[in-house]
Structure 1
Amino acid sequence: MAADDPTPSSNLDDDDYPAYTMGRAAEMLGTTPAFLRALGEARLIVPLRSEGGHRRYSRYQLRLAGRARELVDQGTSVESACRIIILEDQLEEARRINEELRNRETSSNPDA
């Protein structure tokens, strides 16, 4: 195995590694496979497929699905919950980029 090849154990720390089957993901979230399929249809999470065609979910996708479940449990429609989560994710990314740019500006201009 080459040095660049990930070992199976290195996948355990990867938030994007599709480690969970649909059944296990639904069980962990306390929901149904149909709910996960609805999130896929709304394009919030797009599971990867195993060689056999089975859906596989990552920890990151399960966090998004968990947030969607919270919103749906509060009475929000699945479609609206997905849109809210996408906007929250975009806002978080914009904040991260802004902070990174501020830090870069401060480090390149210590007199500012």
Structure 2
Amino acid sequence: MTADNSYGRLDDDDYPAYTTGRAAEILGTTQGFLRAVEGARLITPLRSEGGHRRYSRRQLRIAARARELVDRGTSIEAACRIVVLENRLEDARRGNAEGRRSAVSVSPTAVA
């Protein structure tokens, strides 16, 4: 990959840019916590050619939400389940909003 086309990935939330150590540092947690949320199947980091975990910004946000819950006393398994359910709820709300917008944009005469 050349420098010219790699700069476009700087804004990509799904680009696996962070090593486990750096991700843990950013989140203020341990590498073990990241392995635990991976083990709970909340996030699945990509692997480098050498087999090292690489995390995206989106994955770090998800792990950060789980960390908030754990810091409040929720078990890691429960925190991961809560985050999954929160994400599903947000997806459903987004889908409902899109459906309402589509229904409004349809002309009443076109329906008849």
Same-fold call, TM cutoff 0.5: yes
Q: TM-score, normalised by structure 2?
A: 0.91
Superposed structure 1 runs of 4+ greater than 2 Å apart: none
Pairwise CA distance, 1:84: 0.1
Cα displacement (A) at 1:7: 1.8
Report the Cα distance in structure 1 between the residues aligned to 2:54 and 2:108, rounded to whole angstroms.
47
Give how far 1:109 is off: 2.7
Which residue does 1:45 correspond to in 2? 43
CA distance in 2, matches of 1:47, 1:26: 13
Q: What TM-score do you get using the length of structure 1 for normalisation?
A: 0.91
Aligned length: 107
- Quote the Cα distance in structure 2 between the aligned partners of 1:96 and 1:7: 32
- Measured in 2, the distance between the counterparts of 1:12 and 1:104 equals 33
Match of 2:87 among 75, 86, 89: 89
Residues 21-32 of structure 1 aligned to structure 2 (within 5 Å): 21-32=19-30
Q: Which of the pair is proportionally richer in helix?
A: 2
Provide the C-alpha distance between the structure 1 equivalents of 2:63 and 2:40, rounded to a whole number of angstroms.
12
For 1:44, what is the secondary structure of its paired residue? coil
Give the letter for the 1:51 counterpart: E
* Structure 1 gaps, min length 5: none
Q: Which amino acid aligns with 2:73?
A: G
What CA RMSD, in Å, does the superposition of the two structures yield over aligned residues?
Answer: 1.6
